[in-house]
Amino acid sequence: MNPMWMSLRRDLLLAGRRRSEVLTALFFFVVVVSLFPLGIGPETALLRRIGPGVLWVAALLATLLGLPRLFAADHADGTLEQMALSPQSFALQMAGKVAAHWLLCGLPLVLLAPLLGLQFGIEGDALGILMLSLLIGTPLLSLIGAIGAALTLGVRGGGVLLSLLVLPLFIPALVFGAGSVEAHTAGLSVSGHLSVLGAMLALAAFFAPWATTASLRIAME
């Protein structure tokens, strides 16, 4: 696991020097979520109903915002080629980069979600379910998004193509993540929704690093 840890540590250190890129996604998430209560008005029942979906869509878009830069800088300066040629596992190094992306872009969204959820009248256990669903779902978004970022690396107009590739793949996470809060509000069990999210995360954690490395090798040829 040393290659993964070293790659994670390196990306976190580099992000500390480019804090504006990290804060952009966080600011985007806060602004998008806050605009909905202002635009819809003080209808508590309606806000409580759409709140989980709005928070999930905003988290999805904020995650997507940082994906084009996931490999771009390392590709431009030749670091990716050095990683691919090193004796260390390329897949573990890329897993470390994805983990760093989640820590910088996904985890802050999870921590902010309960505070922003109060704007929609979401309270009590529903906020806990929302936070738990995002805690499971945002790493899944980063793993899937890494594959799309690798496939579009170096392609002109790659940002638009990346969105077209990964947004359909994000839909199951969106449906089950937002659905878990709605199920709790309706008095139903949320274990099914969270179990499906967890299963998708487990599959993505196993397969995504290998798919990402294969796509990167193709992009670097």
Per residue in 112-123, pLDDT tens? 998 998 888 888
The confidence score (pLDDT) of residue 89 equals 85
When pLDDT is cut at 50, 70 and 90, the band that residue 44 belongs to is confident
Choice between 42 and 114, residue whose per-residue pLDDT is larger: 114
Torsion, CA 116, CA 120, CA 126, CA 132, rounded to 10: -30
Length of the chain: 221
Residue whose structure tokens are 């573990």: 92
Q: How far apart are CA 5 and CA 105, in angstroms?
A: 18
Q: Which domain, by its residues, includes 207?
A: 2-220
**Count: domains in the chain:** 1
Residue whose structure tokens are 């179990």: 195
Q: How far apart are CA 47 and CA 167, in angstroms?
A: 24
Q: Is the pTM of this model over 0.85?
A: yes
The confidence score (pLDDT) of residue 37 equals 86
Choice between 168 and 1, residue whose per-residue pLDDT is larger: 168
Average pLDDT, the chain: 88
Q: How far apart are CA 125 and CA 186, in angstroms?
A: 12
When pLDDT is cut at 50, 70 and 90, the band that residue 110 belongs to is very high
Q: How far apart are CA 120 and CA 37, in angstroms?
A: 7
Q: How far apart are CA 212 and CA 149, in angstroms?
A: 8
When pLDDT is cut at 50, 70 and 90, the band that residue 1 belongs to is low
Q: Which two tokens stand for residue 7?
A: 């790659």
The confidence score (pLDDT) of residue 58 equals 93
